[in-house]
Amino acid sequence: MLLSIACEVPVPLRVFVAGATGVVGRHLLPMLAERGHHVTALVNGEPRFSSGADTLLSADLFDFPGLRHALRVAAPDTVLQLSGPDGADTEEALWHTARLREQGTRNLLAAAAEVGVRRVVVRSSATAYAPRGHEVADEQADLFTTAPGNWGEACRAVEEMERVLLQEPEIEGVALRFGELYGADTPFAESGDVYRLVRGSALPLVETGGGVTSFTHVEDAAAAVLEALHDVEPAAYNVVDNEPAESGEWLPAYARMIGGPEPVSLTLEQANQQLDWATVHRLTEQRGASNFRFREVSGWRPRWPSWREGLTNLFGFWPV
């Protein structure tokens, strides 16, 4: 019996983390260290301290030879690509995110395959689904690849990144589609981008606020990555909380929690004149996502099953 129990304990791995200094990486690294994994953190430019990392290596995801060298030095079992947008989805941020997902992740996958990495886990997005009414999306739903501008570029990059990842024959690829990240150091935290917009009455309700957001607390995102290190079947998975919410519900509640003014209301015509396309899309027609599949194939359960609980923990005030 003792032998049986011991065999169920995950074997410590050598883990290579791109995006270690980002919002998900900062939460994940202490978890990896606690489980006894040997962590190599990839940093861009001069190496700097990253809590929980055993080794720091400097390389750029867009520099394939340098990336390959870093992976050879680290000799990891598993590679994590957690780089991504940690701020507001500006046009510039969307463009950079698309390039990072497509070119940067492609470089990382190619280098990982060359050095014999077994598993690669990448950060993906549950905000990329095409609008289809109010039914939440599972992983088979279409992505919004026909969207205009840089939002469409970002959605097409998600599709291409996941295609390359899941078709690489030498690698077990897992894509974790995070929802709207919130928690410490995110746009929803004090002084974050969303916080400032709402406090300044710059994020309105549009029409009835029918756009649906699926939230993911950064702690739950990091815990999902931890689960994906081992026996989760290669695939793309939604990693979101249990309560998708319309903007007409979460936005006024969030404003009250942070002591901000009640959001102003705009018609769709007014919103199209005053706001960028992506913001109007997210507030009016964005589709939420279901976490059912990842819950079924892993031991993951969100510590914060509702954005209400997570935001209450962040601000100490229950939304009414």
Per-chain mean pLDDT for the chain? 92
172 and 158 Cβ atoms separated by less than 8 Å: no
List CB contacts of 270: < 8 A, sequence separation 6 or more: none
Residue bearing the bigger pLDDT, 231 or 41: 41
Is 80 exceeded by the pLDDT of residue 45?
no
Is 60 exceeded by the pLDDT of residue 196?
yes
Is 90 exceeded by the pLDDT of residue 232?
yes
Residue bearing the bigger pLDDT, 125 or 4: 125
Q: What is the DSSP string of 198-231?
A: HHTT-S-EETT---EE-EEEHHHHHHHHHHHTSS
**What's the pTM value of the predicted model, to 2 decimals?**
0.94
Quote the tokens at residue 240: 């979101």
Is 70 exceeded by the pLDDT of residue 193?
yes
List CB contacts of 284: < 8 A, sequence separation 6 or more: 206, 207, 209, 210, 211, 247, 268, 271
Give the pLDDT band of residue 318 (cuts 50, 70, 90).
low
Rounded to 5 degrees, φ, ψ at 233 are -60, 135
Average pLDDT over residues 234-257: 97
> What sign has the CA pseudo-torsion 232, 235, 236, 241?
negative
Token pair 């990982």 is found at 112
Give the pLDDT band of residue 47 (cuts 50, 70, 90).
low
